[in-house]
Chains A and B, each alone.
Chain A
Amino acid sequence: MNTPPDREERIGDWVPPRPQVAPGAPDPERDPNSPLRHTLPTFDGIRELDSSPPKVWTYIYLLTFFASIWIWVAYPAWPWFGGATPGILGWNSRGDLPRAAEIAEANAPSVARRFAAARWEEIEASPELRAYGAAAGRGLFGENCAPCHGKDGRGTRGFPNLADGDWLWGGEVDAIEQTLRVGIRWHGSDETRTSQMPGFGAQGMMDRRQVLDMVEWLRGSGGLEHDAAAAQRSGPVFAENCASCHGEDGKGNQELGAPNLTDQVWLYGSDRNSLFQTLWSGRNGVMPAFGGRLSDDMIRKLVLHVRGLGE
């Protein structure tokens, strides 16, 4: 009864030896759960039973087969010369995207829809809309603004701090919106905000001595340790070269993006080397225009977030 049958498979001419089985003992070449009666050939003397996988796997395997056939029929599947089979559902991811966006908009909370439809005055008048916009702007800020201005908007050398209440081009919603839309000295926008801080030394408008004196004046007006006599000397030079943009009192001009020179905000550093560099070679920071990249709705959310950074 339990005598192992002859092997049908050979490896070369070699036939694995049959194990000796006592009468009545289970057949070592048989897995009781398997319809197969043979082991696989021995590998280095190790026998391996050729057992079937559990039935549930077999059914799942068949299920995936039928599922794939459904997918072939229903969705774009088979590339062929002249086009791919479109599938009976007519679905594709690019075509679905606008629909998905519409559904998302339709299901947006009512405050989102009211925000999108509101004018600035209405938003300003409503704490709810203001709070919504600022919160929604946070994510946009992280993606579009934080690389330069930092996650918290505190900026870094050359990239202004947006949280200090000091605005180069104005901190009203309209001004911030305009800056976001057209950028600053941005090559890709015709309406971009623009002005020039010339290299007074490099362009020969001041000599080295005058630049060094002006550095002391700047440090003095910003409340830093400085050489008062040198600062005194630069009065006429300031009136001639700087006052037209930064004002007689040095308090700056937001129309021109000219910074206030009398506060403690130093965009490019307050040490003497940096200030010398600023005066000698000029500084003309660049901000990209986001008007084409972001929607009006997104820009207004950003405006509210940016304005709220300092609060």
Chain B
Amino acid sequence: MATDEKSPRFARLHGRFERRAVRFALAILVVLSVGGIVEVAPLFALENTVEKVEGMRPYTPLELAGRAVYIREGCYVYHSQQIRPFRDEVERYGPYSLAAESMYDHPFQWGSKRTGPDLARVGNKYSDDWHVRHLLNPRDVVPASIMPSYAFLATTPLRVERIDRLMRTHQRVGVPYTEEQLANARADLVAQAGSADDATEMLGRYPKAQARNFDGQPGLTEMDALVAYLQMLGTLVEFDWRRPRPDMVR
């Protein structure tokens, strides 16, 4: 009977919670929200969450349309866009991703699984022709690939009229599109998929943008948009991970 005397108070308390479903659920909620508040809430006010870097700009209309295709097709389920600050990753993919490089992503495309390679710096790594061939049928260029074919993108006309609302939506959630950029959205979108000579205005509004016929075919398709998006990924910010600025490593 000696142990009976120790009949612990904790066990009684525990028993009281565990046997009452609603009370138990509420207790779980309280405990979890403590974690949430402590871990998440300060991030919104942190000064060093998003580095101040040169070169970031909002997506061009064509890139944004391509990004919408990327999200629609669920690419983020198989490809991450987040290079971690480890030696093996920077040697393979390039400098680690900065938070600033996702600052105009709504939602971000970091992903959580790499069935295929990371795409955070795939921009300018391969030729347009490669991207088109690879999207048409990945096995044509990478025999061991298990990626599905996205050949229909080449024959699906891009719905240019959607870009206005897409950009307005992004503006509403915090992307600093100017009224000038919004007003010229459709023209800029079409211009970027043409030759660079005809896109000088657009290139003025979006520094470091690339303008050309991305899929090499006449007509503006979702292929143009997706390749334009892929070819700009990770190309805006330049920094040396071997000599990071002090504010980047806080």
Contacts and interface: CB of A to CB of B under 8 A. Distances in A.
Decide whether A and B assemble into one complex: yes
Interface of A: 1, 5, 8-9, 11, 34-38, 40-41, 50, 78-84, 86, 92-98, 100-101, 104, 143-144, 146-148, 150-151, 156, 158-159, 187-188, 285-288, 293
Interface in B216-250: 241-244, 248-250
B58 interface: no
A78 B38 contact: yes
B187 to A, nearest CB: 22
A150 to B, nearest CB: 8
Contact of A86 (B84, B210, B248, B250): B250
B133 interface: yes
A92 B250 contact: yes
A94 B244 contact: yes
Contacts of A188: 124
B38 A288 contact: no
B19 A81 contact: no
B126 A148 contact: yes
Given A35-B3, A104-B87, A288-B127, 12 more contacts: A34-B3, A35-B6, A37-B4, A40-B19, A79-B42, A79-B46, A82-B45, A84-B250, A98-B244, A147-B142, A187-B212, A286-B129
A158 B133 CA distance: 10
Contacts of A151: 143
Contacts of A146: 142
Interface of B: 1, 3-4, 6-8, 11-12, 15-16, 18-19, 38-39, 42-43, 45-48, 84-87, 90, 92, 94, 96, 124-130, 133-134, 140-143, 210, 212, 241-244, 248-250
B242 A288 contact: no
A271 B7 CA distance: 89
A220 B41 CA distance: 74
Contact of B92 (A41, A143, A158): A143
Contact of A286 (B4, B90, B127): B127
Contacts of A285: 127, 129
A82 B43 CA distance: 9
B132 to A, nearest CB: 10
B11 A293 contact: no
Contacts of A144: 125
Nearest to A286: B127
B249 A95 contact: yes
Nearest to A79: B42
A188 B34 CA distance: 50
A264 to B, nearest CB: 22
A156 B18 CA distance: 65
A236 to B, nearest CB: 32
A286 B128 contact: yes
Contacts of B90: 97
A254 to B, nearest CB: 21
B19 A37 contact: no
A147 B138 CA distance: 10
Contacts of A92: 249-250
B130 A82 contact: no
B15 A35 contact: no
B20 to A, nearest CB: 9
A40 B47 contact: no
Contacts of A148: 126-127, 130, 141
A147 B244 contact: no
Contact of B130 (A78, A86, A101, A147): A147
Contacts of B241: 94, 97-98
A233 to B, nearest CB: 32
25 contacts: A5-B4, A11-B19, A36-B7, A37-B4, A79-B42, A83-B250, A84-B46, A84-B48, A84-B250, A94-B85, A94-B248, A95-B244, A95-B249, A97-B85, A97-B90, A100-B87, A101-B87, A104-B87, A144-B125, A147-B126, A147-B142, A151-B143, A156-B140, A188-B124, A288-B127
A9 B129 CA distance: 73
Among all A-B residue pairs, the 6 with the closest Cβ atoms: A95-B249, A286-B127, A79-B42, A35-B3, A94-B249, A93-B85
B3 A83 contact: no
B120 to A, nearest CB: 13
A150 B90 CA distance: 23
A239 to B, nearest CB: 31
A288 B243 contact: no
Contacts of B43: 79
Given A8-B12, A11-B19, A293-B125, A97 B87 contact: yes
A158 B136 CA distance: 15
A211 B127 CA distance: 28
